[in-house]
Amino acid sequence: MNINPMALMTLKQKFATFNQDHPRVIPFFNAIRMSSMEVGTVIDMKVTTPDGAEKQCNIKVTQNDIDLFNTIMSMNSDNQ
């Protein structure tokens, strides 16, 4: 699999913008990473649109999920 370096730079920029726009998200993920991320943990997600419509789902965390989460979190240089 070839990874486009320009796409990675764009992703890094977008991630930095997301982090700037939503400064509480990364600290939240760091907190659950350190204390709550273990196999069998349930993550519940809910989205509410401006008109009040809701969608919700949950996942039971697997080791593969933890590995992916840790990889993504390690991409954030402010995280170390």
pLDDT at 80 over 50: no
Least confident interval from 6-10, 44-48, 66-70, 75-79: 75-79
Tokens 């590995």 belong to residue: 67
Cα distances from 34 to residues 37, 64, 71, 79, in angstroms, run: 7, 17, 14, 12
Domain boundaries, the chain: 5-79
The first and second tokens of residue 5, run together, are 């370096």
Distance from the Cα of residue 13 to its chain's centroid: 15
Query: pLDDT, tens digit, for every residue of 33-43?
Result: 878 889 999 99
B/e letters for 15-50, b = 16+ CB within 10 Å, e = fewer, are eeeeeeeeeeebeebeeeeeeebeeeeeeeeeeeee
